[in-house]
Amino acid sequence: MLKQNFGVIGAGIIGAAVARELTKRFPGASVTVLDKEPRAAQHQTGHNSGVVHAGLYYEPGSLKARLCRRGVRLMREYALDRGLPYEECGKLVVALDEAEEARLGAIYERAVANGVPGVEMIGPDGIRDAEPNAVGCSALRSPQTAIIDYGAVTRELLSDVEHAGGQLIFGAEVTDIANRGGGCAVGARRGEETLRLTFDHVVVCAGLQSDRVAKLAGGAEHPKIVPFFGQYSRLSPEYRTVLNGLVYPVPDPAYPFLGVHLTKRVDGEMLVGPNAFLSFGRENYSGRHIGISDSFAVASDPGFWRFASRNVKAAVREFGGVISRRRFLAGAEQYVPSLRGAESTPITRGIRAQAMDRSGNLVDDFVIERIGEATLVRNAPSPGATSSLAIAEHLVDTTVLR
């Protein structure tokens, strides 16, 4: 059946990219984007570091690796075409000792296998040449790692949707999804109004609420979203030029998250962070308001307690950075000693929609589920924003056109 009426739930960067892709593939079709917020990019898209990841870390051949590499090319082309800020500032992944150097060698091999251009291993002299204020035993240099404003990209994508005749409905919280007679009916609450919409196909890109919206459509219980907050701090103005680009640690397999790093932003600010700790609320950006239902959902999931029991050491380490900004910054000083004594100001938290399976394992790759005429993006972790335009292509190719 020829599909001519599409719904997209979620106005973050992936939802916006999917909506735009639908207008391109189905000229003249009706495309409607629904989001419960009053404007676009209010959650993960608007609370991230803005890094365009080159594809260093991901398992070669994985969906994440393939879509990241394709996504980088598409994102760069789109940004340059639309005059959006895009800076290839480069990135160093720095090893501080021999154990980290061994792990860094494995990352280099993955980067080469993934076709990341220009990557090279450099020693202390090369580190100083790239980043005069950074130190380390060795580093992997990725010259084409870039920075961007993903919120601005999202707004531009949605502008494309509107120019193609699409409709944006904000303030509409989806309450039910039902497959009916080769189509999909969606109910939503918009203030005092109840919306009833019918589409030939619906794509759900609900981020932090992806598991809950998937269940409305009959999706599986797992993977479930467990929210982890990441706190960045903005360094004081005199440190805006302390680095030319980005400096990251070598990931430690004993910990589930990356660790503190230094990130340049397209507005010129220099950020340090993030830590990673359980968020008591999926949208608790201030940290001051506990989400009772969200916290109960996490506490009642046996998989979470299996995860927690395996990661006590990581939790203790991360909690130290939560309660002490001095300890938080100390991690960055290992890589950039001139940051000793630096002042910083916490910025609004980001909250990561971390998918977890029933055994308590963090789900690493992208997860896409189709039920009838509903396509559900169940997991789109980093580099989800980098990969967004490629994810949109993939979804249309493999689900909508199926």
Q: What is the pLDDT of residue 288?
A: 80
Q: What is the pLDDT of residue 322?
A: 55
| Alpha helix ranges (H) inside 205-336 | 210-216, 292-299, 302-310, 312-323, 325-333
Per-residue pLDDT 10s for the chain (402 aa) are 567 999 999 999 999 999 999 999 999 999 999 999 999 999 999 999 899 999 999 999 999 999 999 999 999 999 999 999 999 999 999 999 999 999 999 999 999 999 999 999 999 999 999 999 999 999 999 999 999 999 999 999 999 999 999 999 999 999 999 998 889 999 999 999 999 999 999 999 999 999 999 999 999 999 999 999 888 899 999 999 999 999 999 988 767 677 789 999 999 999 998 877 889 999 999 888 888 899 989 999 999 989 888 877 766 565 555 555 677 788 899 999 999 989 989 888 899 999 999 999 999 899 999 999 999 999 999 999 999 999 999 999 998 766
| C-alpha span between 238 and 343 (Å, rounded) | 10
- Read off the tokens for 92: 């160093």
Q: What is the pLDDT of residue 59?
A: 93
Domains and CATH numbers, the chain: 5-46+151-222+363-400 (3.50.50.60), 91-143 (no CATH), 224-362 (3.30.9)
Sheet holding 5-9, edge to edge: 167-170, 30-35, 5-9, 201-204, 374-379, 367-371
For residue 194, give the 3-state DSSP assignment: strand
Q: DSSP class of residue 297?
A: H
